[in-house]
Amino acid sequence: MIDRRAFLTFLAGSPLLAAFPDLPAFAQATAGGLEQAAHALDVFDFEAAAQKLVPPAHWGYLMSGVDGEATLRANREGFDRYQLRPRRFVNVSRIDLSVSLFGQTYSSPIAMSPIGSAGAFYADGEKAAAAAARTRNQLLMLSTQATFPVEDVIKARGGPIWYQLYTTNNMDVTRRLVKRAEAAGCPVVAVTIDTPNGRNTVTATRLARTDTRQCSACHKDATGDRFEPRRGGNLGTKPMFAGIDTQGVTLTEASLTWDFVKRLKDMTSMKVVLKGLESGEDAGLAVQSGADGIIVSNHGGRSTETGRGTIECVAEVVAAVRRRVPVLVDGGFRRGTDVFKALALGANAVGVGRPYIWGLAAHGQQGAERVLDILNNELRLAMIGCGATSVKEITAASLIDRRKA
């Protein structure tokens, strides 16, 4: 007798899916071959499942880097530079993962980075991510490009979230976005400054060309272009732009310089965090300009090509900041040991992007929760291995830099 479950699992993992457009129904039935979120052993199990479930154009949007994707690869490869230095006979019977950021305590230093259009991967998108952040008490940052309005996402989180701001070419529109996030109760605005003027997401474009579905099914104003929703091209359909005349409005503004930090601070009572720095010089300028925090980020390998992995940028940023403001980092974090390394280099917290989206795509809220649980548990094990019982006890003494060893 054929085992139905084994058959469905086989089908879900089979290249047959590409040849027969109706077969994704089978993948859906088996959640991409991962029947229960709890079965996942690491975050890559969710990646494999999500790939079977997410249509090619949306998968390309999620996974793309820019150009030849050297920076995207560097984000992962950078972790190999560092090794852990275990310690023994420390009482590690209790491990405290909690951290505080701007007066708010979270159950671990793992945050959910802003991902635009999360509804492209799971219908409840950012609301389901927020529900996972609620049950696990993790920090969530909401994209300007979110599928749901900030008010709804705060409700699903049952507490404050950070608002990720994309500047626009119209300061009045930018101000309206900021004021709306502030009125909704966001304590922090994280302004993304790493993509001032365009990018070339080759993988996204290539995969979109293979997608036979109608773009208009997802993109209300689709013109037939098979690119990721163009920057500023469909702002009117994004909830955060509701009630705003988006005619002529484009996302990000190439002419902005450091004085924008003061303008933003004058505009809002929220803490202002800059997302997208990679150098000590810029970190110093950020603090000098009044930034309340820094997120070391290369946009998940989606901004400047042939840059360093973000983990390799942490030490110089931390040195320049001299503990005056918190430093977060994201880009390629897939293991608890990755997180541990960033904390040992002096970061206060770490963001993950794609992994929780893989979780959402495969199993909705439960999938995102499982991703957080896996990463938190791996971090806990790394702390045990290195004899650190709290996040504060994670120091450079636990790390070997192969370049210096």
Ligand X SMILES: Cc1cc2nc3c(=O)[nH]c(=O)nc-3n(C[C@H](O)[C@H](O)[C@H](O)COP(=O)(O)O)c2cc1C
In the complex, the residues that contact ligand X under the rule CB under 6 A are: 61-62, 75, 113-116, 143, 145, 164, 192, 275, 297, 299-300, 330-333, 351-354
Measured from the CB atom, the residue of 120 and 388 that comes closer to ligand X is 120
Structure token digits, residue 334? 């897939």
Return phi, psi of residue 117, to 5°. Answer: 55, 45
Task: Decide if 58 is catalytic.
Answer: no
> What is the sign of the dihedral through the CA atoms of 284, 170, 130 and 230?
negative
Query: What SS3 class is residue 85?
Result: coil
Return phi, psi of residue 2, to 5°. Answer: -80, 130
Return phi, psi of residue 141, to 5°. Answer: -110, 135
Measured from the CB atom, the residue of 30 and 75 that comes closer to ligand X is 75
- Report the nearest approach of ligand X to the CB of residue 301 (Å): 7
Return phi, psi of residue 254, to 5°. Answer: -65, -20
Measured from the CB atom, the residue of 30 and 192 that comes closer to ligand X is 192
DSSP 37-63: GGG-SSHHHHHHHHHHHS-HHHHHHHH
- Report the nearest approach of ligand X to the CB of residue 84 (Å): 21
Measured from the CB atom, the residue of 30 and 298 that comes closer to ligand X is 298
| DSSP code at position 170 | -
Q: How far apart are the first and last CA of the chain?
A: 59
Residues 6+ apart with CB under 8 A from 67: 200, 202, 305
- Report the nearest approach of ligand X to the CB of residue 155 (Å): 20
Cα separation, 361 vs 309, whole angstroms: 26
Cα separation, 207 vs 255, whole angstroms: 32
* Minimal CB distance residue for ligand X: 353
Measured from the CB atom, the residue of 331 and 387 that comes closer to ligand X is 331
Point out the residues that are catalytic: 299
